[in-house]
């Protein structure tokens, strides 16, 4: 028997719509649980009576639970159709824009990059925001908040 993977198992291909559907359902289920936890925390807050410290902790817990639910909703919403807004972009201008963005967002690290780029008037079709985001992710540069 061969130990080589078969042609069918060489790669996994899952349609994007199935991934979106799965993540949205998981998000919905988790938000239901978070809503139940938030209601339980509200009940505990009522049981706390006049204990101000306990009420404050319950309030923080409820805020945390609410934030988690909002974040899950944002992930679910972000999985909608990705739209690419391509534009013709002069490569030299793109590099300059990227340099300025990195210098502005990461002033401490900006001196470590060598910008000896000599380009002509070549252009390419890109979505500048998606490309810059990919660049930052590829080089492990955290995004500014």
139 DSSP assignment: T
- Mean pLDDT over residues 98-126, rounded? 79
pLDDT of residue 142: 65
Read off the pLDDT of residues 52-76 as tens digits, 9 standing for 90 and up.
899 899 989 988 988 888 888 888 8
> Do residue 102 and residue 128 come from a single domain?
yes
On whether residue 22 sits in a domain, the answer given is: yes
> Do residue 58 and residue 101 come from a single domain?
no
> Do residue 73 and residue 28 come from a single domain?
yes
On whether residue 65 sits in a domain, the answer given is: yes
On whether residue 100 sits in a domain, the answer given is: yes
On whether residue 30 sits in a domain, the answer given is: yes
Q: Of 126, 129, 128, give the one whose Cα is nearest residue 86.
A: 126
> Do residue 70 and residue 40 come from a single domain?
yes
Read off the pLDDT of residues 30-40 as tens digits, 9 standing for 90 and up.
988 998 898 89
Question: Greater confidence, 102 or 125?
Answer: 125
Count: domains in the chain: 2
Predicted confidence band at 10 (pLDDT cuts at 50, 70, 90)?
low
Instruction: Tell which of 78, 105, 121 closes a domain.
Output: 78
Predicted confidence band at 108 (pLDDT cuts at 50, 70, 90)?
confident
Other CB atoms within 10 Å distance of the CB of residue 58: 19
Q: What's the domain range around 117?
A: 87-138
Is pLDDT above 70 for 20?
Answer: yes
- Mean pLDDT over residues 7-14, rounded? 63
């Amino acid at each position: 028997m061969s130990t080589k993977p078969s042609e069918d198992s060489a790669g996994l291909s899952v349609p994007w719509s199935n991934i979106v559907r799965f993540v949205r359902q998981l998000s919905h289920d988790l938000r239901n649980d978070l809503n139940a936890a938030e209601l339980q925390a509200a009940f505990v807050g009522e049981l706390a009576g006049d204990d101000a410290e306990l009420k404050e902790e319950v309030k923080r817990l409820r805020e945390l639970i609410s934030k988690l639910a909002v974040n899950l909703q944002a992930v679910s919403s972000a999985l909608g159709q990705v739209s690419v807004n391509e534009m013709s972009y002069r490569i030299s201008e793109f590099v300059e824009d990227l340099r300025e963005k990195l210098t502005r967002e990461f002033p401490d690290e900006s001196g470590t990059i060598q910008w000896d780029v000599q380009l002509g008037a070549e252009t390419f079709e890109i979505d500048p925001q998606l490309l810059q985001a990919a660049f930052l992710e590829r080089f492990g540069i955290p995004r500014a908040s």
